Structure 1
Amino acid sequence: MLKEQIASSLEREFSEFGFAEPSVAQLKVACGVSLRTLYKHYPSKEEMIVGALQHRHQRYLAFLLADVPETGIHSLKHIFTKLGVWMKEYAPHGCMSMNALAAFPENDFIYQAVKSHKKDVQRFLGEQSVRPDLSTQLFLLHEGVSSAWPVIGEQALDAAQHTIIKLLSEN
C-alpha cells in the first residue's frame, strides 16, 4: 500500500515538473516519506520514474474503461472523448510516457516500461473497437492526439474522432 502511495506521489511530481527537474530530495518531500523508505521501494531515480509510469498506466486504462458503453464505434467515441478529458485534466503537456522517453532516451529500463504501456494501449484499442486488425491505426490516432494536444488541443481530438468514424465505416 505504501509503495502505491509513493508511486502516486511520484506520478504527480513528474507530471507537474518533468523528469529532469525534481531531485530525489524533492521527490522524498513530495512523497512524505524518508529517503530510506523511498529508496527501499524505488532504489534509483530511474526506478522511481518507472514506478510512476506504471502507476499512471493503470490509472489511465481504468479512466478510459470507466463507463464505456459497449464495444465498437460507440466505445471508441467514448474512449477518445475521455482521452480529451485526460489531456485537459492530467496531461496538458502531452504524454508522460513519451516525455520520460525523451528525457532518458538511452535508458532501457524506462524504454521497456514505455513500450509495454504503448503495446497495452494498442491492444486495448483493438479490443474495444472489436477490430484488432485496425489496432495500429487506432493507436496512431490516439498517439497523435496525445502528441499534438499541447499545440492544437481539441482540434487534434476532433480530427481523430472524425478519422475513426471514417476508418470504421470504410472497413
Structure 2
Amino acid sequence: MLKQQIAADLEKAFSRYGFAEPSVAQLKDACHVSLRTLYKYYASKEQMIAAALEHRHQRYIEFLLEDNQEVGTSSILAVFDKLGIWMRDFAPNGCMSSNAVAAFPENQEIREAVSRHKLNVMALLGEKSQQPQFATSLLLIHEGISNSWTVLGEQSVVTAKQLATTLLEGDAPQ
C-alpha cells in the first residue's frame, strides 16, 4: 500500500517538476516519507521514474475507459475526447512518457515502462475500435494528439477524430 502511494506521489512530482529538476531529496519530501523508506522501495531515481510511469499508465487506462462501454468508431472518438481532457487537466506539458524517454534516453527500465504503456494503449485502441488491423494507425493518431497538444490544444482532438472516422469508416474528412 505504501509503495503504491509513493508511486502516486512520485507521479505527481514528476508531472509537476519534470524529470531533470527534482532531486531525490525533493522527491522524498513530495512523497512524505524518509529517504530510507523511499530507497527501500525504489533504489534509484530511474526506478522512481519507472514506478511513476507505471502508476500513471494505470490511472490513464482507467480514465480512458471510464464511462466508455461502447465499441467501434464512437468508442474511439470518446477515447480521443478523454485524451483531450487528460491533456488539459493532467498533462499540459505534454506526454509524461515521451518526456521521460527524452530525459533518460539510455535507461532501459524507463524505455520498457514507456513501451509497455504505448503497446497497451495500442491494444486498447484495437479492441475498442473492433478493427485491430488499425491499432497501429490509431496509436499514431493518439500520439499525435499528445505531441501536438501544447501547440494546437483542442484542435488536435478535432482533427484526430476526423482522421479516425476516415480510417475506420472510410468517410472523407469534412
TM-score relative to the length of structure 1: 0.98
Aligned to 1:86: 86
AA partner of residue 143 (structure 1): E
Q: What is the SS of the residue equivalent to 1:87?
A: helix
> Counterparts of 1:38-117 in structure 2 under 5 Å?
38-117=38-117
Q: Matched residues in 2 for 1:78 and 1:160: separation? A: 11
Q: Which runs of 5+ in 1 are unaligned?
A: none
Separation (CA, whole Å) in 2 of partners of 1:24 and 1:51: 14
Which residue identity does 2:117 align to in structure 1?
A: H
Q: Give the equivalent residue in structure 2 for 1:22.
A: 22
Alignment correspondent of 1:138: 138
Question: CA deviation digits over 1:110-155, x for unaligned, max 9?
Answer: 1111111110000110000001000011000000000000111111
Give the unaligned 5+ runs of structure 2: none
Are 1:126 and 1:132, in contact at CA under 8 Å, matched by a contact in 2?
yes
Q: What displacement does 1:69 show?
A: 3.5
Please tell me whether the aligned partners of residues 69 and 78 of structure 1 are also in contact (alpha carbons under 8 angstroms): no
TM-score (normalised: structure 2): 0.96
Aligned residues: 171
Identity rate, percent: 57
Paired with 2:17 and 2:152, the residues of 1 have a C-alpha distance of 21
Task: List per-residue Cα deviations over 1:26-60 (Å, max 9, x = no partner).
Answer: 00000000000000011110000000000000000
